[in-house]
Amino acid sequence: MAEHQLPKLNTRVRFPSPAPIPLMNTENKITSFKDEAVLFKDKHNKIIVYSLVLGLFLSGCSTPHKRITSRPEPTIYIKTDLPGTYHSVKRGETLWRISRIYQIDLSMLVDFNKIPNASKLKIGQKIFIPDSLRQTNNIKASDDFDEHFYWPTKGTIASYFSQIKQHVKNQGIDIYAKHGAPVYAATHGKVIFTSNNMRGYGRTIIIKHNNLFSSVYSSNKENIVTSGDYVTQGQVIAYAGTSGRTNQCIVHFELRKNNKPQNPLYYLP
């Protein structure tokens, strides 16, 4: 998925046809994208939806991904003389959960331990927790979110976060799936956008989980939820297919925090 800087929402932006951005007219009606979208009375919620959709639209020029035969192995442990402690990874733990246990910023924890984008944690893997980061980078109370995220479908990974193909950066992960396989909600939330033909993405669903996190599911064969629906974790929301710009059956999954793409592998068990 291409990485672009989003324009200010009050700035007129022109895009090449035939894929106009959905804009609101004075009567508060959707004037393009013959899709479903929620007309929020709350202006803040409207901005969130438009920001997510605009970000997806601008990054929707990716090409079909090729199968990856191998992925980088995670670093077993970091050797350092700095004061701190080693955390031994347990079954089901994620980097995000570990960062919250020790009150350390996730990106700093990843950078310090030199963990690749394409790696998953292994049981028994050692993660070093520097005392200095624990003392100076406490997580804010507003970041509190106690839910776990779960995989949206079963399958191997076809394309990893930030993988570049023909100058295009993936803002999520692509998961190989059987045609018609169920696509599950990663956790509970409200459906804030659905589309049957989003440029580069095909059939797409966006779920808002709280004030911080939202998730994106695309390349679907069929969406079975609509805007405004509340979903529970593990609920079937779509079926896998080949819509969008891919000719392979995949589930494209994105996880966003404050509308910024996150590496899903840091959050998935």
Domain map (residue ranges) of the chain? 1-62+150-262, 84-143
Q: Is the pLDDT of residue 27 over 90?
A: no
* Tokens, residue 224: 């079975």
Which one, of 105, 6, 106, lies nearest residue 57 by Cα? Answer: 6
Q: What is the pLDDT of residue 205?
A: 97
Query: Mean pLDDT throughout 71-92?
Result: 72
Q: Is the pLDDT of residue 65 over 50?
A: no
Q: What is the pLDDT of residue 219?
A: 92
Name beta bridge partners: 193: 37, 206
Gap between the Cα atoms of 114 and 216, Å rounded: 27
Gap between the Cα atoms of 36 and 128, Å rounded: 46
Gap between the Cα atoms of 189 and 235, Å rounded: 11
% of the chain residues with pLDDT over 90: 37
pTM for the whole structure: 0.69
User: pLDDT class for 50, splitting at 50, 70, 90?
Assistant: low
Average pLDDT of the chain is 76
Q: Is the pLDDT of residue 132 over 80?
A: yes
Q: Which fold has domain 84-143?
A: Membrane-bound Lytic Murein Transglycosylase D; Chain A (3.10.350)
Q: What is the pLDDT of residue 144?
A: 54
Q: What is the pLDDT of residue 146?
A: 62
CA 139 to the chain's CA centroid: 21
User: pLDDT class for 78, splitting at 50, 70, 90?
Assistant: low
Query: Mean pLDDT throughout 240-257?
Result: 89
Q: Which residue has the higher pLDDT, 263 or 168?
A: 263
Q: What is the pLDDT of residue 136?
A: 53
What is 1-62+150-262's CATH number, 3.30.565.10, 2.70.70.10, 3.20.110.20, 1.10.3720.10?
2.70.70.10
Query: In 10 A of CB 36, how many CB atoms?
Result: 16
